[in-house]
Structures are given as structure tokens and as C-alpha cells.
Amino acid sequence: MSPLKALGADVRENLARPLAELRRRFLAAGRDVPQVRVMTRSGDTPQGERREMLRRPPEILITTPESLHLLLTSRGGRGLLGGVRLVILDEVHAMAGNRRGTLASLCVERLAQLSGEFQRIALSATAKPEAVLARFVGGCRLCGDPARPVLEPRPVALVRGAATKPIRVSVRVPEYPAVRVAGDFFEPYVAAWREVLFSNRTTAFFIDSRRLCEKVARLVNADLDPPLVYPHHGSMSRDVRRAVETRLKAGALRGVVATGSLELGIDVGDLDQVALIQTPPSISAAVQRIGRSGHRVGATRRGVFFPLSDLETALAGVMAKAAAEGDI
């Protein structure tokens, strides 16, 4: 279960190659191996694929909380999910603290009633507090007398990765000229953003407004051919989003301006730096976004805040310090 449709599609793509290679090696060794099929069920899934997965359930199903809820409310969907043995909650921190997390938790419990107990695995790079998230993931099971059942928390083991990467975060507020012209608020910012772009091979800009996402891309690309950056947000068509993601992953784009649509674990290739325009909704989101950079071995995660107001400047300073210290 993934919080984003794009993330689910990316997971499916990244599973295809190793599964194909495993099958090739088994067959080359003269050993029979069953085919492991991976399918996605989300709002982007064509009707033909939806019918196919009901006829022939895949071994691995990638979905979202909303799509899992719809599957559980239909007879065909319940038939598809009757044999579940493992549930992976990807980027669990993005769901746990909101209504989607409530829906996800309810769906997982309904799934346990349908198919019996199964293993649960939750993944997150910014899970804090871990004990609270562990209780969210494990949930409770009904034990004892059916007439007077008792809620018993499921045991959950915490596994922490030992590897850490250095992080370098700064806050930058461009200077305005002594004499300002009305309507030129973004002019010094555009110059600074282009400077960041030209100093890196690939840069991602994050902003929480779709309208501003489009505006920033337009301002940065003004009078430039070819464009320096491309926008990416949830209101764009699936084909356009996938085209931007594919080119970014291949290193064919100098930069991208995105909302939270690229914040989570979507494979965006090798980013040199992340720029945060305005301030993210939380320190965890800031760390998550900055963590999209520096994926090379031994590389440093690099982020720069571009606050657009005095209040955002103060918030950015606090967030930068907390992100550098890992205090989320």
C-alpha cells in the first residue's frame, strides 16, 4: 500500500527487472519457477487491467488506501484479496497522522478479517515517534470469549537502518536592489534559482501550491529555450507526470518544480540538490524532500530554503537547524 499513485507505479517498474532476472536464472539452471506477476490498482489503472486482476489475481498487488477500500467493498475485490499473506505499508509516516491513515488502518483490519492474520511491514525514513507508529502498524486483535472479547496489541519489532548520510542545509533570501519596481517581487528569486540550477547537474524545487508550482516553472523558463525546468503535480495527466519522471530519472532534465507529488520514495534518479520554496508543512517533510538528493555513494544530502516572507524566514531557520540535527 502506497500513499501515492505515482509511487506505486514506480515500485511496480522497479520490481519488474529483478523479478525477470530471477526467473531467467532459475530457468537457466534448469529449475522450474512460478511466474510472479505485479499489478497496480489505483485511479490510474485502466479498466482492462482491473478486469484482468479480478480474473487472475497477481502475486503482488500495489494499491492505495482509497483503492483498497473500494476493492474490499466489492465481491470481486474480496475474492482478489482472500489469499493475502503479507502487507507492506510504504512511506507509512505520510499516512499515519491523517484521515488517510485512519482509512488505511481500517482497511488493513478488514483485510485481516477476510484473509486471516498476515505479516505487516511498514517502511519510513522519517518515522518519529517510532513507538507510536509501531502501534499504528500493528493494531489490535480480538482475543478471549467472543461474547466479551479483549483487544490485544499485536507485537511489532523495530528495525533501524545503521547507515546515515551527511546533510547540509542552508537558508537563502535574495537581496533586492536599492530601487525596486512594482511587480518585481520574484525577480531576485528567479536569478537565485537559475544560479542554483546552473551550479548543479540536476535540481528539484519543492513547493506546496500547484498554482505557484506552475508560476515558478514559467518564471524560471522565461526567455529560455529549451526550458530549464518542468512542473510536476497531481493535477497533471498521468502521461505528462510519467514523462517528467522518466526524463528526470534518466538525467535528461536540468530541474523539476514539484509539489509533494515527488516528495516520497519515487525514483527520480541522481539529484545534486533540493531547493525548498516557502516552508514545508513539517520538519519531517523538509527532511524527506532534502533526502531526495545525494543518492550517490558517499554523497551529501544538500538542501536550500527559499522563504518568501519574514515569517517563513524564521520558520526556515528553525527547520534547517532541526533537519541538520535529525530532530524530527
Residue ranges of domains in the chain: 5-153, 167-325
Q: Is the pLDDT of residue 20 over 80?
A: yes
The predicted model scores a pTM of 0.77
The arrangement of strands across the sheet holding 273-277 comes to 167-171, 301-306, 273-277, 203-206, 255-258, 229-232
Alpha carbons within 13 A on the beta-carbon side of 170:
7
Q: Do 5-153 and 167-325 agree at the fold level?
A: yes
167-325: CATH, from 3.40.50.300, 3.40.50.2020, 3.90.180.10, 3.40.50.970: 3.40.50.300
Calpha distance 259→311 (Å, rounded): 21
Q: Any idea which of 152-156, 256-260, 269-273, 315-319 has the lowest mean pLDDT?
A: 269-273
Confidence of residue 253 (pLDDT cuts 50, 70, 90): confident
- Quickly list H helices, the chain: 5-28, 47-55, 65-72, 75-81, 93-96, 99-115, 130-138, 187-198, 210-221, 238-249, 283-290, 310-325
* 59-72 burial code (b ≥16 CB/10 A, e <16): eebbbbbebbbebb
Question: Between 3.40.50.620, 3.40.1180.10, 3.40.50.300, 3.10.310.40, what CATH number should domain 5-153 receive?
Answer: 3.40.50.300
Split at pLDDT 50, 70, 90, the class of 296 is confident
CA distance 272 to 269: 10
What pLDDT digit, counting tens, does each position of 102-152 carry? 999 999 999 999 999 999 999 987 777 888 999 999 999 988 888 888 999
Q: What is the pLDDT of residues 160-203, one digit of tens each?
A: 876 677 889 999 999 877 666 656 788 999 999 999 999 999 99
Contact between residue 10 and residue 245 where contact means Cβ atoms under 8 Å apart: yes
